[in-house]
């Protein structure tokens, strides 16, 4: 395929928008909030590292979004747009090829949120702004709900250990020295990773 200045602009724009699309149009936002809350529950800012959270978030998001991206790729292979022509027809073709992503946003949006944004932007439920707005608010609510559920067991450990140390008069001993091994033991025994990944996948399909 001949590389033209117009196609280079489109490619550069696509690469620039890729992180935004990854963050707001996939499950990446929810996964990152949940895993970050799990990191905060440990009480150690450097454990696990930011790169670990990022890698896990991207990996889980890729697993969840693979069927959608496969449909989009198939649409572009079946009906490839002409990057040399920025006519309304070609733009419509690109939007049509991205239809599986919009359907994903609408399917995983709360009906109440969809109604709210329909009232704000119009009654057409197919609009991208309606789908994206409802999806983002729904994802945030679900993410903080999951974060709260994950945080509670670690909070109980912190409270119990602190109460025991105070009752024993061991004020100089940092509770973190005791709570961190207990929290790690809880993670090892409960094996939450498969449960978390299954919960993420099943919440979308």
- Tens of pLDDT, residues 30-84: 988 888 888 888 777 777 778 888 888 888 888 888 888 888 888 888 877 766 6
Number of domains in the chain: 1
HEC assignment per residue over 145-185: HHHHHHHHHHHHHHHHHHHHHHHCCCCCCCCHHHHHHHHHH
Is the pLDDT score of 125 beyond 60? no
Q: Are 82 and 6 in contact (CB under 8 A)?
A: no
Q: Which two tokens stand for residue 57?
A: 């978030």
Residue 183 domain-assigned (yes or no): no
Residue 170 domain-assigned (yes or no): no
167-177 exposure pattern, b = at least 16 Cβ within 10 A, e = fewer? eeeeeeeebee
Tens digit of each residue's pLDDT (9 = 90 or more) over 86-123: 666 666 777 788 888 888 888 888 888 888 888 877 66
**CA dist., res. 153 & res. 41, Å (int):** 9
Q: Which two tokens stand for residue 194?
A: 């498969």
Residue 90 domain-assigned (yes or no): yes
Q: Are 187 and 157 in contact (CB under 8 A)?
A: no
Query: DSSP per residue over 104-157, as a string?
Result: HHHHTS-HHHHHHHHHHH-S-TT-HHHHHHHHHHHHHHHHHHHHHHHHHHHHHH
CA distances to 26, 57, 138 from 198, rounded to whole Å, are 16, 14, 19
State the pLDDT at residue 95. 78
Residue 188 domain-assigned (yes or no): no
Residue 88 domain-assigned (yes or no): yes
Residue 74 domain-assigned (yes or no): yes
**CA dist., res. 14 & res. 122, Å (int):** 28
Mean confidence (pLDDT) of the chain:
81
**Pick from 77, 34, 35: nearest CA to 53:** 35
Q: Averaged over 176-190, what is the pLDDT?
A: 81
Domain containing 89 equals 5-148+197-202
Residue 172 domain-assigned (yes or no): no
pTM here is 0.79
Q: Which two tokens stand for residue 37?
A: 């809350």
Q: In the 8-state DSSP scheme, what is residue 88?
A: H
Residue 131 domain-assigned (yes or no): yes
Name the residue with higher pLDDT: 27 or 22: 27
Q: Are 201 and 64 in contact (CB under 8 A)?
A: yes
């Amino acid at each position: 395929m001949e590389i033209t200045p117009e196609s280079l602009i489109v490619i550069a724009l696509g690469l620039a928008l890729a992180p935004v699309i990854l963050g707001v149009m996939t499950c990446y936002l929810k996964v990152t909030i949940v895993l970050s809350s799990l990191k905060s529950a440990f009480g150690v800012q450097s454990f696990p590292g930011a790169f670990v959270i990022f890698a896990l978030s991207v990996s889980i998001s890729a697993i969840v979004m693979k069927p959608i991206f496969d449909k989009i790729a198939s649409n572009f292979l079946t009906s490839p747009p002409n990057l040399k022509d920025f006519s309304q027809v070609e733009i419509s073709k690109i939007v049509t090829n991205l239809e599986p992503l919009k359907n994903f946003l609408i399917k995983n949006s709360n009906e109440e949120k969809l109604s709210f944004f329909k009232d704000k932007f119009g009654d057409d439920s197919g609009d991208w702004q309606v789908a994206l707005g409802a999806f983002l608010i729904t994802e945030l609510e679900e993410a903080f709900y999951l974060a709260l559920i994950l945080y509670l067991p670690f909070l109980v450990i912190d409270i119990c250990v602190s109460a025991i140390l105070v009752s024993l008069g061991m004020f100089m001993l940092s509770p973190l020295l005791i709570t961190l091994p207990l929290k790690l033991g809880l993670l090892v025994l409960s094996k939450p990773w498969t449960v978390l990944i299954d919960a993420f996948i099943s919440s979308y399909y």
